Structure formats: structure tokens, C-alpha cells
A and B are shown apart, each in its own frame.
Chain A
Amino acid sequence: MGATITYTELELVHGLQARDEKVFSYLYDHYSPALYGVALKIVTDEASAGDVLQEVFIKIWRNIDRYDATKGRLFTWMLNITRNTAIDSLRSKAHKLELKVQDVTSTSLMHEPQLAVHLPVDHLGLTKVLDGLPKDQRAIIDFAYFKGCTQEEIAKVLDIPLGTVKTRMRNAIIQLRILLKQL
């Protein structure tokens, strides 16, 4: 089929708005691993992650007109949809605070058990980054981003004052940025 077609984000957005199935297919092929990985990290089981992924792409297809390029990149928008959908799915499954806390405080969280089964695209990079993060920094990113915890919940779980949650988060991300640059 000749040279591989590549689309810019703008072309992708226009293609989706024009209901171009080829563009959608391209979008799926290029972004589904990242979005599925996030869904899987949040809901932790493949069946639910698959359902989330499907819902995410249908939302993208249907709501592409709501995407505002001035607010951020297309990937960021898709990522937000994915995270929200996955966390909704997680919460709907009666994952109350207790469960959530129990889950995140268990040592298994620190070992990323599902990674052994679902080989990530960049396993080496992930290991480097996660190993490079101090435990409490890794935990705060986990709680906030992958578990959808509120600041109050994080303060309680990590046993830190509410006012320091944001600064802890900033420190964690600064460390993360350093690690990502080393990849």
C-alpha cells in the first residue's frame, strides 16, 4: 500500500468530524495501546478495560466536535476521556473508598503485578521510571491519577496534612520529569 500514511492531530480531528472511518481506524491503531494501558491500570481486569476502551473510542467518535484544540492536545483530551470512563467504571463496581484504600495501600500496588502478565510496550522504561520514584511519590501519582482519589483521601491514606498534598504531587512530578528525560 505504499508509504504509511500519517496524520497530524488537526487532520485527525477533521477526519473524525467528517466521519471518515479510515481516520478513525488510524486513530485507533495509534492510540488504543496507550489508552488501553491506562484503562487496564485503572480497572485492573482485561474485560472491563476492553469495555472501557470501546466506550472511549465511541465517545471520541461521537464527541469529536466538543474537542477544543486551544485547551490542549488531542491525546490529552482522549486520555481524559479514558481516565474518566475507567474511573466511572471502577466506581460503578461498588469500589467504595474502603476498597480503594485497601487496594492502594496493599503492597501489591507497589509491585505492579499485572505488568508481568500484560507486557507493556515499554516495559524497560516503565521499570526505570517506577524504580526511580520514591515510594510515596509513586503512591501519590497512583492514588491521584489511576485511582481517582481526592486530596482528602490521599491525605488520609498517606497520613499527611491536606495542605501538603499538592506540594508532594509537585515534587513527584518533578522527579517523574527527570526520570522521563533520562529514557
Chain B
Amino acid sequence: MDVQHYISSGILESYVFGLLSSPEQEEIESIASQYPEVKAAVDALQEDKAKFVKLFAVVPPVAIKDRMLDVLRHENTPNGHQLLPAELRTVAPVVNGKARNGKHTPVVKLQSPKKKRDHIWKYLAAAIVVLLLGSVFMNFFFYNRSTDYKSRYKSLIAAREKLEAEKAQQSLTSQPLVEKEPAILKDPAYRQFRLEGSGRFSNYVATVCWNPQTHMLFLIAQLMPVPPEGKQFQLWAVLNKKLVDAGVFESGAALAGKLQQMKPIADVQAFAITLEKTGGSTSPSLDQLCMATRPTK
């Protein structure tokens, strides 16, 4: 072989600068191992190349070294082993299909420790978001329920109040039935006078209780209507055919059981009721006489 010709053909330069195919490369390595001159020429070219590429030198980011040392320290653990590029794994225990044609996978694999951590964070973040949403939903749900309870509670209170009001109303109206006979009617100290209506006032009933000792006078308008507008019933005490004002009083169903205090009367033989203008009159309008005492007992 013409070594000089071989050296000057340019094939060694092409070899050193990566222009040759693998079979050609192997051929040159074989020849170089046999011919020291070829070997020397190749080595010289490698030195040239080394000098040349060093001109392009750039200091890499510091983080790369740390990241790499981290990978190397864990290379013997199962996890660390997985972090290595596929083609660098000694035994590939859990290699997935892709790992074999490692051409495009290695770079990705190297980043996987970080990515794994990223994934954990992603899952964590997702879980937190789900929990948050759940909590918001529950808050909403329970808030609605609590307001529901609130409104139901309110309506129950209202219903109860209404019932109580109705009950009070009822007890008020039923009072005359219950208290048909106030204690005073049974008091022997009081004399009772029953007044009844006549003519168009028939069916009207009132009772007057008078205490001869204390002169106290009470009236119960048991069955009397609400007087017309501007009018009021007035009680008169009859003594020696003279009518003495005993005061005005309220009437109507609502007051049917109410004991109304009248003006004190020193002495009396009978009672009469007239319909007078509101506030009462000083002398009775006898044409408006509605009721009078029927002597009792």
C-alpha cells in the first residue's frame, strides 16, 4: 500500500472530521493500527480538530453539573437506573418498548427525575383543586340547607305566633263563656241588677253590680251591640224616680265579659241605660231609653 498516497488522499481528514460511514471508519482504524505513519497522521489530525473545536468552547450552565452528579449518585438505585438514557442501562429491567431505539429518548429520560417530581406536584395540585371545589360545593350545599332550615324555622315561628294569636283571639272571644260569671257576681257584698232590652232592643242583656257599703258600681255589657257612630250607651241610677248619671261604658261582643267600673252610687233602686252622644249626657234622653232593670231577687 502506498502510505503517502493514502495519507494525502484526504480520506484521513474526512475520517477525523466525521465524513465517513462506519465501514470506512473501521477500515481506517484497521489500517492505522497496522501503519504507524497513518496512525501518526490521524493523531495529528485529531490534535488539529481538538484545537479547532476548543475555539468554540462555552462554559455550560452551572446547574447541569449538579443535576448530572445527582443522577450519577443514584445510578445504582433502581430509580436512578431508570433515569439513565436507555442505552446506558446495564440490564434493562423495566425497559419499555421505546427504550430500544434510544435515539430520541435519552435526552428526555435524563430529565425524568425532575419530570417525576413535576408530575407529583401536578397530581397534588389537581387533588388540591378538586378538594377546593368539593369544599366550595359543600359550603354552598350546606349554606343552602342552613338557610333552608332558617327559613323553615322562621316559618314555624310565624306559624306558632299565628296560632298563638289565634288562640289569644279565641280565648278573648271565648272569655265571656268561661268568665260568664266573674267573681263579683258571686260576691254577696254586691247587689246585682239585670237589665234587659225591650222593643227593638230586646235580647240586650247587661248586669250591674253595686256594693251598698262601698258604693262601688260595676257593669257587664253581656249582650249589647257596638253603639252607632258618635253614640255611646250610658248607665243611669234610679232613685226616687230621679235618674242619676252613673257613667258611659263600652259595648260590643269583644267586651261582653268585661267588668267595667262605673261611677260610685250612694243609693239606688233601679238602673236604666240610654243611648247618648259619645261622652255621655248630664240628663238622660228618655226617648232613647233602651234597657231597664227588672227587679230581681
Contacts and interface: CB of A to CB of B under 8 A. Distances in A.
Interface in A26-79: 28-29, 32-34, 36-38, 40-41, 46, 48-55, 57-59, 61-63, 70-73, 75-76, 79
A105 to B, nearest CB: 18
Contacts of A145: 17-19, 49
B88 A58 contact: yes
Interface residues of A, number: 70
B68 to A, nearest CB: 5
A167 B107 CA distance: 36
Interface in B69-128: 69, 71-73, 75, 84-85, 88, 103-104, 106-107, 110-111
Nearest to A93: B104
A122 B106 CA distance: 31
B259 interface: no
A147 B169 CA distance: 104
Interface in B14-59: 14, 16-21, 29, 33, 42-43, 45-46, 48-59
B67 interface: yes
B65 A176 contact: no
Nearest to B16: A173
Interface in A79-98: 79, 83, 85, 88-89, 91-92
B19 A150 contact: yes
A171 B61 CA distance: 36
Q: Indicate the member of A41, A53, A76 with the most B CB atoms within 10 Å.
A: A76
Contacts of A180: 48, 51-52
Interface in A143-166: 144-145, 148-151, 154, 165-166
B64 interface: yes
Contacts of A129: 52, 55
A178 to B, nearest CB: 10
A21 interface: yes
A132 B180 CA distance: 134
A145 B16 CA distance: 9
A118 interface: yes
Contacts of B110: 51, 54-55, 58
B296 interface: no
B66 to A, nearest CB: 11
A170 interface: yes
Main secondary structure of the interface of B (DSSP, over half): helix
B64 A34 contact: no
Contact of B106 (A24, A40, A50, A55): A55
A40 B58 contact: yes
A26 to B, nearest CB: 12
A149 B18 CA distance: 9
A12 B106 CA distance: 25
A91 B103 contact: yes
B118 to A, nearest CB: 16
Contacts of A171: 10
B13 interface: yes
Interface of A: 21, 24-25, 28-29, 32-34, 36-38, 40-41, 46, 48-55, 57-59, 61-63, 70-73, 75-76, 79, 83, 85, 88-89, 91-92, 118-122, 125-126, 129, 141, 144-145, 148-151, 154, 165-173, 176-177, 180, 183
14 contacts: A25-B69, A34-B50, A34-B54, A37-B57, A46-B61, A52-B107, A57-B68, A58-B110, A70-B33, A72-B46, A89-B107, A120-B58, A145-B17, A166-B11
